[in-house]
Amino acid sequence: MDLADFDLISGRADTYLDGINKHVNDYKDEFRKPDFHMRYSKKTVESMPYLSRNAVEKAMAQLEEAGYEFKRKANGNLDSFSFEDVIAIYEQRKVPKYRDQHSKGFVAYFNNLKGGAGKTSACVNAIHAIRTEPSLIHQDIRGLVIDLDPQASATMFLKSNLSVGGQPFTAAKAMFNKNLTREELLRDYVFETDVPGVYVIPAAIDDAFLTTSWLEECEDSLGGQEPHSLLKENIIDKLQCDFDIITVDSGPHMDYFLLNGIVASDALVMPLPPSPVDFHSSLKYLSQMKVLMRYLMEQDIDIEGKELIGFMNKFSPHILQHQESLSGATICLGEKMLDAHIPELSGFQRCGVTLDTVISVDPTMYDGGRSALKSAQDAIYAFARSFFARTQLIRSRQS
Ligand SMILES: Nc1ncnc2c1ncn2[C@@H]1O[C@H](COP(=O)(O)OP(=O)(O)O)[C@@H](O)[C@H]1O
Ligand SMILES: [Mg+2]
């Protein structure tokens, strides 16, 4: 083969990928409802924390008097609320939000060097779930996903039209532009996802080339800025008051993206896949954690107070081997293990087809059984509750 052959094959791959993506996006444009599909029955809303029938009716009357419009049926009845309606009701009731208790966002870096462990899947599904889980809605969590993986899988799930081809406004590019202001980041780099209130800073394939010239770029373009702190200093410190939970996803490489993820985070969140080969690889990464931490300390980086959260992903409780891995994980990680795990469910895989999360997918466009989707949603909500509670515990220890 010569260069022309590579050009030809690369070109075909580009075209094919564009075709797949175009198909998915055209399909969504044609069939997806314009607004976020999730609705909550009046009964459900009345049973949410800090609400009751009286509280909901009073808030509705006050909101309508002030000009707020709930979507009613022709006969004037209201059978369900949109996600925004529920937020408006909580606001009317003056229930404190996350941001009223915490001035800065919590940063969770989903990491494990084992590819396929479920970093991306957990990272994007969890943030949509934390935002919409009925018992957490009152927190009005503003979510942000920062995609550091040049493969851009998180971007693909959250904002599929950005995930193909060159993208000028990626997290990696923002890391290498220290003059960007908060306003410029919010305007150019932060994109809405299909769940209102959850945003993404995308990745793109050409970000990968940065790893080969990282230190030179730090010297030449950033005036010698500390190379492990670019994510923290050039993005997160600027946006920490605009978002409540920030999740970071990266690829399975021991590189500067990974080290920047560790430095920027309050907690390292590690999905542990229980099948033997995957579990062994995950343990190997865990066993190297101490080396990574020592290395960072030698670079004068403060790692005090950084936390670790482990959980099983792709877990099937009836498989003995999986139970054995769970025991092993509990022995190694002790109370750092979450009590919730993410089971192995077709819903998580199938949403990859339409480039959605199990929360953002419009059920009318989901090609599997409804009960399969419901199982995946219930599982990620259980995970979100457990994960969120853990972040609150860590927060309380930080202050
Ligand atoms: N809980 C789960 N149940 C079923 N499939 C899963 C689950 N978590 C992840 N997967 C699938 O496993 C594959 C790898 O997951 P991914 O999140 O991309 O891993 P990573 O980001 O660690 O490389 C994907 O095809 C994904 O759909
Ligand atoms: Mg990934």
Site to substitute for ligand 1 among 348, 354, 361, most atoms within 8 A of C-beta:
348
Q: What is the mean pLDDT of the chain?
A: 93
Q: Is pLDDT larger for residue 26 or for residue 212? A: 212
- Here the tokens at position 204 are 């793109």
Q: Report the separation in Å between the CA atom of 324 and the middle of ligand 2, taken as the mean of its atom positions.
A: 25
Asked whether the beta carbons of 355 and 366 are under 8 A apart, the reply is no
Q: Crossing angle, helix 83-92 and helix 53-65, to 10 degrees? A: 90
> What count of other Cβ atoms lies within 10 Å of the Cβ of residue 110?
28
Q: What is the CATH number that goes with domain 97-398?
A: 3.40.50.300
Is pLDDT of 194 > 60?
Answer: yes
| 348/363 Cα distance (integer angstroms) | 14
| Res 97: pLDDT | 97
| The ligand 1 atom nearest the CA atom of 153 | 18
Look at residue 198 and give its three-state secondary structure: strand
Q: Report the separation in Å between the CA atom of 356 and the middle of ligand 2, taken as the mean of its atom positions.
A: 15
| Res 2: pLDDT | 79
| Res 192: pLDDT | 94
Q: What average pLDDT score do residues 265-290 get?
A: 95
Is pLDDT of 33 > 80?
Answer: no
Contacts (Cβ under 8 Å, ≥6 apart) of 170: 147, 189, 201, 202, 203, 204, 207
| Ligand 1 contact via 37 beta carbon (within 6 Å) | no
CA distances from residue 315 to 110, 271, 294 in whole angstroms, order as listed: 17, 10, 32
| Res 362: pLDDT | 87
| Res 300: pLDDT | 94
Domain range summary for the chain, segments of one domain joined by +: 39-92, 97-398
- Indicate which residue's Cα is closest to atom 3 of ligand 1: 344
Is pLDDT of 163 > 80?
Answer: no
294-317 residue pLDDT tens: 999 999 999 988 999 999 999 999
pLDDT confidence bin for 164, thresholds 50/70/90: low
CATH architecture for the domain at 39-92: Orthogonal Bundle (1.10)
Q: Is pLDDT larger for residue 163 or for residue 334? A: 334
| The ligand 1 atom nearest the CA atom of 379 | 1
| 126/341 Cα distance (integer angstroms) | 12
- Here the tokens at position 218 are 């730090």
Burial of 100 (0-12, 13-18, 19+ CB in 10 A): exposed
Q: What average pLDDT score do residues 122-140 get?
A: 97
pLDDT confidence bin for 108, thresholds 50/70/90: very high
- Indicate which residue's Cα is closest to atom 27 of ligand 1: 349
| Ligand 1 contact via 273 beta carbon (within 6 Å) | no
| Ligand 1 contact via 350 beta carbon (within 6 Å) | no
| Ligand 1 contact via 340 beta carbon (within 6 Å) | no
Asked whether the beta carbons of 112 and 103 are under 8 A apart, the reply is no
Q: Is pLDDT larger for residue 148 or for residue 211? A: 148
Q: Identify the weakest region by mean pLDDT among 16-25, 216-225, 228-237, 345-354.
A: 16-25
207-248 residue pLDDT tens: 999 989 999 999 999 999 999 999 999 999 999 999 999 999
| Res 380: pLDDT | 98
Q: Report the separation in Å between the CA atom of 343 and the middle of ligand 1, taken as the mean of its atom positions.
A: 11
Is pLDDT of 355 > 90?
Answer: no
| 332/264 Cα distance (integer angstroms) | 24
- The amino acid present at 272, given as its one-letter code, is L
Q: Is pLDDT larger for residue 124 or for residue 159? A: 124
